[in-house]
Chains A and B, each alone.
Chain A
Amino acid sequence: MTTGAGTREAVSGLRTERTAPPAFDVQKIRNDFPILRRRVHGHPLVYLDNAATTQKPQAVIDALTRYYTESNANVHRGVHHLSEVATIAYDAARTTVRTFFNAASDREIVFTRNATESINLVANAFARPLLQAGDEILISAMEHHSNIVPWQLVCAERGARLRVAPMDDRGELILDAFAALLNERTCLVAITHMSNALGTVNPIADIVRLAHAADIPVLVDGSQAAYHMAVDVQALGVDFYAATGHKIYGPTGIGVLYGREALLEKMPPFLGGGDMIASVTFERSTWNVLPYKFEAGTPHIEGAIGLGAAIEYVSGVGFDAIVDHERDLLEYGTRVLEAVPGVRLVGTAPAKASILSFVMDGIHPHDVGTIVDREGVAIRTGHHCAQPVMDRLGVPATARASMAMYNTREELDALGTALRKVQGIFA
């Protein structure tokens, strides 16, 4: 269609001349997410639990339906047409993910079930063979249980030591203390890009520079960061990056592990079975090439395809616009919460994104959560799978409002109103 192409060209020509990015139309975005139209307890849904999982755009829902309607087959196995179509779609999703994280090659992108499995893969296939008694793995005080427990397990087995870099009262990593903990026994740094409990964004490039200066590889838990900011694994210099599809507007059950090719190449398989082998005899098997060596069994094909669709959607909106919009929401939401008497923010690091964790004077977060839910406002309450963070900051639990690209200032006002209602009940 010449006219269409001409219009597109004209538009993109205009775009290059603009200094400001195109205005971000949140209503247009919202229309792409069908669930945002529903009501809860008689109120419009105000979904502020994005750190737990994000909602899915129609494009993702359609991709899943299309896959099962038109091309379902197993991948890498059949010579028939459908298997070929499914295999192409599955591999194309990997390329989409590779581009999103700017990995050097598709061989560096392993599909897993979630971030938790990605981290366990590295704990078992990288750390376990390497660790000697007395060696150390360094994590931070703000990790999700997923980036604590796998290291505890492997450290206990190998007689190694798990060390923890501290954070300050605002929830900021103390970089000097982190640097001081790096030593010749440190085998790996495993640290979150962004805290799910506090919103703190860690200075990954600095962390990598410090660790690499001591020849220590770095795994980054990107579960939270991957949907709030552009992640370039090469620019950051990380060795492993774990992400989880359901928080990038994609389906559940699909995760990603980026691994530097030279490291993945040297690692033994994590799980054994079909697809991950080159040849099998009863005496001995040989492994498939990367990334398939780490993808045993029939993969989550529609999950990968759905994640590919989600990433294409996110990329279409663009992180320039998303970051601007979410920064506005964070600032606005901070003001809304500060205006509610008795509310105290937990996690006030200078570098933070899209998360408002808070407590209310004399009112348990669980009661807060139940009451605002009746106003249609969905927030998370509890320890957010980060019990050590709660212990460090001296709170048993917090309430947490977490934003995504489709949230609005009006929704944060609705949260403020609901919190005043909580106060009314407990007054």
Chain B
Amino acid sequence: MRSSLDELYQEVILDHNRRPRNFRTIAPASHHANGHNPLCGDRLSLYVQVEAGVIADVAFQGSGCAISKASASLMTDAVKGHSIEDAHGLFLRFHRMVTTSADEAIEDMGKLSVLAGVREFPMRVKCASLAWHTLEAALSYTPEISTE
């Protein structure tokens, strides 16, 4: 059986940490927000280009731990090309996946399911959700958010 540590730091996550996707800026972007997790010092700038209600492009910059970086990278891949409503729905499902122990919360999460392992590490849930909270903030025109 894989240990919960191996589950957390599995290859997909390490790969997204090493080579984050969409790790760049978009200028100008229709939506932008900065996310900050003061507990660990993670900082993330998120750029979203919305066209006709659809996320046409999304990118991020910043520094943080492997979990927050991989999560941001995976998120950009997951929401690109989707409508704002779909992205919001995915945020809610992602949040549920990392905060409950229910197995069915992992189903249909696609690649994002690799982050389900953080549920065993309550102190790290905020690292995984920072990018998602920042996306919600950007889409609602909130320029700065901080997960206390």
Listed in ascending order, the chain A residues whose CB lies under 8 Å from chain B are 363-367, 370-371, 374, 381-383, 390, 396-397, 425-426
Interface contact B66-A374, CB-CB below 8 Å: no
Interface contact B41-A396, CB-CB below 8 Å: yes
Given known A370-B121, A370-B124, contact A364–B9 (CB-CB < 8 A): no
Listed in ascending order, the chain B residues whose CB lies under 8 Å from chain A are 3-5, 8-9, 14, 39-43, 63-67, 121, 123-124, 127
Interface contact A364-B121, CB-CB below 8 Å: no
Show 18 residue pairs from A and B whose CB-CB distance is below 8 angstroms, ordered by the A residue.
A364-B66, A365-B40, A365-B65, A366-B40, A366-B42, A366-B64, A366-B124, A370-B8, A370-B121, A374-B3, A381-B40, A382-B39, A382-B41, A396-B43, A396-B63, A397-B40, A425-B14, A426-B66
Complex Cα–Cα for A277 and B127 (A): 49
Interface contact B124-A397, CB-CB below 8 Å: no
A57–chain B nearest beta-carbon distance, Å: 28
Residues of A close to B65: CB separation below 8 A:
364-367
Complex Cα–Cα for A365 and B64 (A): 9
Closest B residue, CB atoms, query A374: B5
Residues of A close to B3: CB separation below 8 A:
374
Interface centre among A365, A366, A396 (most CB of B within 10 A): A366
Complex Cα–Cα for A171 and B7 (A): 38
Residues of B close to A374: CB separation below 8 A:
3-5
Complex Cα–Cα for A426 and B14 (A): 7
Complex Cα–Cα for A396 and B66 (A): 14
Interface contact A382-B40, CB-CB below 8 Å: yes
Complex Cα–Cα for A374 and B124 (A): 13
Q: Knowing that A382-B39, A383-B41 are A-B contacts, what are 20 other residue pairs whose CB atoms are under 8 Å apart, sorted by A's residue number?
A: A363-B66, A364-B40, A364-B64, A366-B40, A366-B67, A366-B124, A367-B65, A367-B66, A367-B67, A370-B5, A370-B8, A371-B9, A374-B4, A374-B5, A381-B40, A382-B41, A396-B43, A397-B41, A425-B5, A426-B66
Residues of A close to B67: CB separation below 8 A:
366-367
Residues of A close to B5: CB separation below 8 A:
370-371, 374, 425
Closest A residue, CB atoms, query B4: A374
Residues of A close to B4: CB separation below 8 A:
374
Closest B residue, CB atoms, query A368: B65
Residues of B close to A364: CB separation below 8 A:
40, 64-66
A420–chain B nearest beta-carbon distance, Å: 14
Complex Cα–Cα for A363 and B64 (A): 9
Complex Cα–Cα for A363 and B4 (A): 19
Interface centre among A363, A371, A374 (most CB of B within 10 A): A374
A357–chain B nearest beta-carbon distance, Å: 14
A263–chain B nearest beta-carbon distance, Å: 35
Complex Cα–Cα for A374 and B42 (A): 22
Complex Cα–Cα for A396 and B127 (A): 15
B7–chain A nearest beta-carbon distance, Å: 11
B138–chain A nearest beta-carbon distance, Å: 22
Closest B residue, CB atoms, query A362: B18
Closest B residue, CB atoms, query A381: B40
B115–chain A nearest beta-carbon distance, Å: 14
Complex Cα–Cα for A374 and B127 (A): 18
Complex Cα–Cα for A86 and B121 (A): 44
Complex Cα–Cα for A104 and B126 (A): 49
Closest A residue, CB atoms, query B63: A396
Complex Cα–Cα for A3 and B121 (A): 57
Interface centre among B4, B5, B42 (most CB of A within 10 A): B5
Residues of A close to B9: CB separation below 8 A:
367, 371, 425-426
B37–chain A nearest beta-carbon distance, Å: 9
Complex Cα–Cα for A364 and B68 (A): 10
Complex Cα–Cα for A48 and B5 (A): 21
Complex Cα–Cα for A108 and B42 (A): 43
- Across chains A and B, which 3 residue pairs bring their CB atoms closest together, nearest first? A364-B65, A366-B65, A396-B41
Interface contact A390-B14, CB-CB below 8 Å: no
Complex Cα–Cα for A384 and B28 (A): 36
Residues of B close to A365: CB separation below 8 A:
40, 65
Residues of B close to A381: CB separation below 8 A:
40
Complex Cα–Cα for A374 and B8 (A): 12
B95–chain A nearest beta-carbon distance, Å: 20
Complex Cα–Cα for A320 and B100 (A): 51
A378–chain B nearest beta-carbon distance, Å: 12
Residues of B close to A396: CB separation below 8 A:
41, 43, 63
Complex Cα–Cα for A374 and B40 (A): 18
Complex Cα–Cα for A366 and B124 (A): 9
Complex Cα–Cα for A425 and B66 (A): 11
Contact of A366 among B14, B43, B127 (CB under 8 A): B127
Complex Cα–Cα for A274 and B8 (A): 53
Residues of A close to B42: CB separation below 8 A:
366
Residues of B close to A363: CB separation below 8 A:
66
Complex Cα–Cα for A13 and B40 (A): 54
Complex Cα–Cα for A426 and B11 (A): 9
Residues of B close to A397: CB separation below 8 A:
40-41
Interface contact B121-A390, CB-CB below 8 Å: no
